[in-house]
């Protein structure tokens, strides 16, 4: 196996240098010696080297998301070492967080082809969201994550998943405001126009660290799953969030869930979108499609 090990040192609020070295040594022991690509340090062109038959991403959904944009998907198999804050895609595949066990799965060589999504000209692996979730994601990036990274320098036991929790609590402060978005959704399965609290599109049943926003979604069924959340009061969010965590919200009339293969989202004014945990440029028009069985990935 000629593999490239892609390490994102910014995952989990910063992977320590010692853990990076342990990761490389373990990969060499389990898979044989490979090459290493450090995100933000090495040349981006290394990911486009078609001589690698396997590329292993060490991080979260965001790390994989960025790698897919420049990876020759028709020529490589993808391995996952879930070290990030958002590892919903890897978790949906049954890949454990233990580094050695995840590497052993790659060494066993079993793969399956799974779907990817596409929003405009950008690939995504697990999720696209508009409205409240995009607002919370941007709040994390601008206000919460930089402070959490500084705190972690003092060896506090901080995990990046706390960024989402703290951003959610920050939302309930009196001076933090969020307004529902006015959009028009058209798909081959359903249409809707008006104010929505949130639109969440997922490839797998997991989202946001374990929330089951689309509990019936499967990553290889040839469909994307959408959940439209109608406007909510600020304090009803906590009660609704618990039911979403369990996947028990599907009969609640506040939520409208459906599958699709093609969708357009339109807005009179530019709106933000969250894509695999990354905030993209605001726009007034989005096209979302499924790419069936596009990605070959190692599985247990």
Q: What are the tokens at 128?
A: 């696209």
User: CA 173, 177, 180 angle in degrees (round to 5)?
Assistant: 135
Q: Return the H-helix or E-strand segment holding 218.
A: none
The residues with which 122 forms a beta bridge, in sequence order, are 119
- The CA-based dihedral angle spanning residues 240, 246, 251, 252, taken in that order and rounded to the nearest 10 degrees: 0
CB 84 within 8 A of CB 16: no
Q: Show me where the domains of the chain are located.
A: 3-109, 127-293
Going from the C-alpha of 282 to that of each of 31, 146, 196, the distances in angstroms are 42, 22, 17
* pLDDT value, residue 99: 93
The residues with which 187 forms a beta bridge, in sequence order, are 263
Distance from first CA to last CA of the chain, Å, rounded?
18
* pLDDT value, residue 197: 94
Helix ranges restricted to H, 232-271:
236-246
Smallest Cα–Cα separation from 134: which of 174, 183, 93? 183
pLDDT 10s digit of each residue in the chain, 300 long? Answer: 889 999 988 776 677 677 889 999 999 999 999 988 888 766 666 666 667 889 999 988 889 999 899 888 888 999 999 987 678 899 999 999 899 999 999 999 999 999 999 999 999 999 999 999 898 888 777 766 666 666 655 555 555 566 677 777 777 777 778 889 999 999 998 899 999 999 999 999 888 777 888 989 999 999 999 999 999 887 788 788 778 877 778 888 889 999 999 999 999 999 999 999 888 889 999 999 999 999 999 999
Q: Which fold has domain 3-109?
A: Rossmann fold (3.40.50)
Going from the C-alpha of 218 to that of each of 204, 206, 207, 214, the distances in angstroms are 5, 10, 12, 9
How much is the pTM?
A: 0.87
CATH number belonging to domain 127-293: 2.60.200.40
């Amino acid at each position: 196996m000629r593999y490239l090990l892609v390490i994102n040192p910014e995952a989990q609020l910063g992977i320590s240098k010692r853990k990076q070295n342990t990761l490389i040594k373990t990969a060499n022991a389990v898979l044989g010696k490979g090459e290493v690509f450090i995100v933000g340090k090495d040349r981006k062109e290394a990911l486009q080297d078609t001589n690698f038959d396997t590329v292993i991403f060490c991080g979260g959904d965001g790390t994989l998301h960025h790698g897919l944009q420049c990876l020759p998907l028709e020529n490589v198999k993808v391995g996952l070492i879930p070290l990030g804050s958002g590892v919903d895609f890897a978790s949906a595949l049954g890949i454990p967080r233990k580094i050695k066990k995840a590497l052993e799965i790659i060494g066993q060589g079993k793969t399956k082809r799974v779907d990817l999504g596409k929003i405009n000209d950008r690939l995504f692996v697990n999720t696209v969201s508009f409205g409240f979730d995009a607002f919370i994601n941007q709040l994390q990036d601008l206000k919460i994550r930089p402070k959490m990274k500084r705190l972690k320098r003092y060896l506090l036991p901080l995990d990046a998943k706390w960024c989402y929790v703290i951003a959610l609590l920050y939302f309930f402060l009196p001076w933090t405001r969020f307004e529902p978005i006015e959009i028009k959704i058209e798909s081959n399965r359903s249409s809707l126009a008006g104010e929505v609290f949130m639109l969440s599109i997922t490839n797998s049943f997991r989202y946001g660290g374990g929330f089951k926003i689309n509990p019936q979604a499967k990553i290889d069924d040839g469909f994307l799953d959408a959940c439209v959340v109608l406007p909510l009061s600020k304090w009803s969010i906590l009660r609704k969030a618990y039911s979403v965590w369990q996947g028990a919200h599907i009969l609640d009339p506040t939520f409208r869930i459906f599958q699709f293969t093609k969708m357009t989202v339109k807005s009179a004014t530019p709106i933000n979108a969250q894509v695999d945990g990354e905030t993209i440029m605001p726009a007034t028009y989005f096209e979302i499609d499924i790419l069936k069985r596009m990605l070959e990935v190692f599985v247990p």
